Amino acid sequence: MAEGGASASTTGFDQVLAFTVPERDARGRVVRLGPVLDDVIGAHSYPAPIRNLLAEALVLAALLGSLLKDDQGQLTMQAQTQDGVVDLLVCDYRAGELRGYVRFDRARLDDLGPSPSLHALFGDGYLAITFDLATAGQRYQGIVPLQGESLAGACESYFFQSEQIPTMIRVGVRPSANGCVAGGLLIQHLPEGEEGRERLHVQHDHPEWEHMRIIGGTVSLAELVDPALELETLLWRLFHEEREVRVDQGLEISKGCRCTSEYYRSVLSRFGPTERAEMRNEEGLILVDCAFCSRIFKIDLD
């Protein structure tokens, strides 16, 4: 792998690059979100702390979701609490499509100042990560407490506790005049292969993993969000001393709200006539508010 030579259109914004370092038994993902991030976040007038929180969550969803081998599979991240300023954060990834939403108490948020901690936002909350494998008809879910400094740390805990996979994640978010830029790096140690093997006894102090963890830890947040730094160049900076690094073609990321009038019409048709009548407004329409895209669908079942 050589530094330079890749165009911004192939390794720039809204792309995920998958890579492996065979001799270190490691795989990883690197992503940088730009216009797609602005599209998702721009659906709501989020204050800065919430905007940054959702940007981090969307980067994590792209990193974790791109690990799916099932093209129709879905990764869902849901952070929830009963006593926090943020009572719900949800985002998901499916086939390169991202969407996300945050519900919060604006008055309580204003009392926290410009840079609230994760605990200040969520209190004693938890993070649920769900992998839905559509082709196999299987679902895997892990739940971890929202402790530490960031959502990325909670995701590392998920892999440690639920998957027994040593994992390092770094995420950077940078507000800009035109919106927001966010990037992330994920590295995992898979000494027994990516699938079909028991991982309960993976050594988290394995020398190969220690090497990868140290190298990955040298990435700066500024590098992750620098639009002038191509993702392949970033990987070259990190791993140019390795004998072999395999990089797959970038997967494009797009905004993916899947709500349509046809979908809501099919859902509402399952209710009885009396229930549907109670839902109608004075014009005979049923109004459905999509939290993800901040659109109101006017459904006429007649």
Q: What is the pLDDT of residue 261?
A: 74
Q: What is the mean pLDDT of residues 186-195?
A: 75
pLDDT of amino acid 192: 62
Name the band, by pLDDT with cuts 50, 70 and 90, for residue 201: very low
Angstrom distances, CA of residue 159 to CA of 24, 130, 246: 19, 12, 23
141 pairs with which residues across the strands?
130
**How far out from the chain centre does Cα 33 lie?**
11
The number of angstroms, rounded, from the C-alpha of 107 to the middle of its chain's C-alpha atoms is 27
Domain(s) labelled CATH 3.55.30.10 in the chain stretch across 12-255
Q: What is the pLDDT of residue 116?
A: 94
Asked if 30 and 250 count as a contact pair (C-beta separation under 8 A), the reply is: no
Give the number of other Cβ atoms within 10 Å of residue 188's Cβ.
Answer: 21
User: What was the pLDDT predicted at 234?
Assistant: 96
Is the pLDDT at 3 greater than 70? The verdict is no
Q: 276-291, pLDDT tens digit by residue?
A: 888 888 888 888 776 7
pTM of the complete model: 0.85
Give the model confidence (pLDDT) of 152-189 as tens digits. 999 999 998 888 899 999 999 998 766 789 999 999 99
CA distances from 161 to 171, 198, 256, 265 (A): 21, 14, 30, 41
pLDDT score for 196? 35
Q: What is the radius of gyration, based on Cα positions, of the chain?
A: 21
Greater model confidence, 131 or 250: 131
For residue 260, pLDDT over 60 is answered with yes
pLDDT digits (tens, 9 = 90+) for 40-71: 998 888 999 999 999 999 999 999 999 998 88
Does residue 6 have a pLDDT over 50?
no
Instruction: Name the architecture of domain 12-255.
Output: 3-Layer(bab) Sandwich (3.55)
Task: Please give the residue that has the higher pLDDT: either 5 or 169.
Answer: 169
Q: For residue 103, give the 3-state DSSP assignment.
A: strand
Q: What is the DSSP string of 186-240?
A: EEEE-TT-SSSS--TT--TT-HHHHHHHHHHTT--HHHHH-TTS-HHHHHHHHHT
Number of Cβ within 10 Å of residue 250's Cβ equals 20
**Mean pLDDT over residues 243-250, rounded?**
90
Predicted pLDDT at 8: 40
E strand intervals along the chain: 15-21, 26-33, 74-80, 86-94, 97-104, 126-133, 138-145, 167-176, 179-189, 246-247, 251-252, 254-255, 286-290, 295-299
Q: How far apart, in whole angstroms, are the C-alpha atoms of residue 111 and residue 292?
A: 26
Residue type, 136: A
Which alpha helices (DSSP H) does 66-182 contain, by range? 106-110, 118-122, 151-158
Query: Residue 178 has what pLDDT?
Result: 65
pLDDT at 11 over 60: no
CB 84 within 8 A of CB 125: yes
The residue to which tokens 């719900």 are assigned: 88
